[in-house]
Amino acid sequence: MVPKGKSPDRKRNRVTMKTIAEEAGVTLTTVSRILNNKIDKNTYAAETRDRIISIANRLKYRPNALVLGMQTGQTGIAGVMMPVAGFYGGIIDGIHDVFVNNNTIMLLSWNNRSHNDREEKLERQIIHQMVDRRVQGIILRPSSEDFERSYFEEIWERDIPLILIDRHLSNIDTDFVGTDDIAGGRAAAEYLIGLGHRRFLFVGVGLSASTSRDREEGFRRVLSEYSTAFWKSLYYKPETFEDNLVQILRSSEAPTAIFCYSDALARKSLKCVTQAGFSVPRDLSIIGFGNESMKDGTIALTTFDQFTFLIGQSAAQMYLERINETEKNGVRTRIITPELIIRGTTAPPLR
């Protein structure tokens, strides 16, 4: 789990407490106690103190946190397992914001496709990398709904606090910070109904992702309160999406508004319907989710902001509480309500 490498002479002539002790003509113990201010019972001669400290400074001594970590388990390292792109960047930003003021630094990695190692799945390897380096806890966003249970077991067995982000998994009971997806779905429906829309399409990714499932559910719940509302769902599949979407829009009961699971899907839909000759928001309203940024947008998307920074901060705070508590407490959850950002892709229906 650790790279080979020749290890040049970078290892030698290091300044350790022993170096300082020898230079000062005292023992290691003395140096240790003085540099750590562990002078509770033992009072050292001011002269000794000053001498040790000035030698340490002159030699630019730096403690070896690995040793400390090995001895006490307090490594000051947190494992964070989620990508940096888009949405997640904001979360990591929030996590960092809390960590930087609490002497904690993150070991960051995530699952991506370009991994070559054939021995084991990348997720497991990353968890091993983190566990082996004795992270004090892990904050992770499950890359897929079928994130293997055995991964969590590796973590639980070692009593490493685990905080899930964004997606909760059925059958996994652990700390969680995420978005109130149901509320988001409801708000989308209420807003569109308020604009006068009555026929809707939900574009999602299916029922296995809790986020998509919940947004759809909230959306439908509100619509079902209106006897005149009609709705349909379409789950994204790369090959068939465009055809299916166009077909639905050309049908007799064509929707006048589309609520999408993500901004990415909203953009795909936007592109597709525009090519099919529809004008947004004149003929069709579209709402995304996530308030993600894009490089070449020419129409500003109506969407939901998820307060990623706050999600990150909350997760990091939960992390700190966990690693500092002596006894095991019940599962903690923090759900943040998303906010509708009305921009250019929504309008009342034509008639």
Partner DNA sequence: ATGAAAGCGCTAACAT
Partner DNA sequence: ATGTTAGCGCTTTCAT
Restricting to residues 45-104, which ones interact with DNA according to CB under 7 A?
45, 48, 63-64, 67-68, 70-72
The sign of the dihedral angle between the CA atoms of 104, 312, 335, 235 is negative
Smallest separation (angstroms) from its own copies to the CB of 169: 21
User: Which residue's CB is nearer to its own copies, number 39 or number 70?
Assistant: 70
User: The dihedral of CA 93, 99, 105, 111: what is its sign?
Assistant: negative
Reported as half-sphere exposure (CB side, CA atoms, 13 A), residue 313 has a value of 8
Stretch that binds its own copies, among 27-35, 120-128, 201-209, 231-239 (CB under 8 A): 120-128
Residue 18 makes contact with DNA by CB under 7 A = yes
Residue 233 to residue 3: CA distance in whole angstroms: 49
Best CA proximity match to 248, nearest among 215, 207, 278: 278
Q: Does 2 bind its own copies (CB under 8 A)?
A: yes
**Residue number, 102 or 174, with CB nearest to its own copies:** 102
CB of 345 to its own copies, least distance (A): 11
User: Considering only residues 3-22, where is the footprint of its own copies by CB under 8 A?
Assistant: 3-11, 14
Query: Taking CB within 5 to 8 Å according to partner kind, which of DNA, its own copies, none is near residue 44?
Result: DNA
* Contact assessment for residue 108 and residue 92, using Cβ atoms and an 8 Å cutoff: yes
DSSP string, 190-231: HHHHHHT--EEEEEE--SSSHHHHHHHHHHHHHHTT-TT-EE
Q: Is 149 in the site for DNA (CB under 7 A)?
A: no
Q: How far apart are CA 186 and CA 188, in angstroms?
A: 5
x-marked contacts with its own copies along 135-164 as a string, rule CB under 8 A: -x-----------------x--xxxx----
The Cα 12–Cα 9 span in angstroms is 6
Asked if 274 contacts 68 with a C-beta cutoff of 8 angstroms, the reply is no
Query: How many other β-carbons are positioned within 10 Å of the β-carbon of residue 204?
Result: 23
User: Which of the choices its own copies, DNA, none does residue 148 contact, using the CB cut-off of 5 to 8 A by kind?
Assistant: none
Compute how many other C-beta atoms are within 10 angstroms of the C-beta atom of residue 226: 12
Partner touching 92 among DNA, its own copies, none, CB below 5 to 8 Å by kind: its own copies
Q: H or E segment at 248?
A: helix 241-250
Q: Rounded to the nearest whole angstrom, what is the least distance from the CB of residue 324 to DNA in the complex?
A: 16
Structure tokens at 211: 């986020």
Nearest-approach distance from CB 75 to DNA, in angstroms:
12
* Alpha carbon distance 294, 27 (integer Å): 61
CA-wise closest residue to 219 among 306, 292, 289, 293: 289
Q: How far is the CB of 280 from its own copies (least distance, A)?
A: 13
Q: Is 102 in the site for its own copies (CB under 8 A)?
A: yes
| Residue 158 found at the interface with DNA (CB under 7 A) | no
Q: How far apart are CA 142 and CA 172, in angstroms?
A: 11
Contact pick of 19, 32, 48, 129 for its own copies (by CB under 8 A): 129
Q: Which of residues 289-348 bind its own copies (CB under 8 A)?
A: 291-301, 320, 323-327, 343-344
Report 212-271 residues binding its own copies (CB under 8 A): none
Interface size with its own copies, residues (CB under 8 A): 88
Answer for which of 23, 35, 241, 299 binds DNA (CB under 7 A) is 35
Cβ nearer to its own copies, comparing 87 with 231 = 87
Closest distance of CB 47 from DNA, Å: 7
Q: Give the CA angle between residues 319, 324, 327 to the nearest 5°.
A: 105
Considering the complex, what minimum distance in angstroms separates the CB of residue 87 from its own copies? 11
Residues that bind DNA (CB under 7 A): 14, 16-18, 25-30, 32-33, 35-36, 38, 42-45, 48, 63-64, 67-68, 70-72
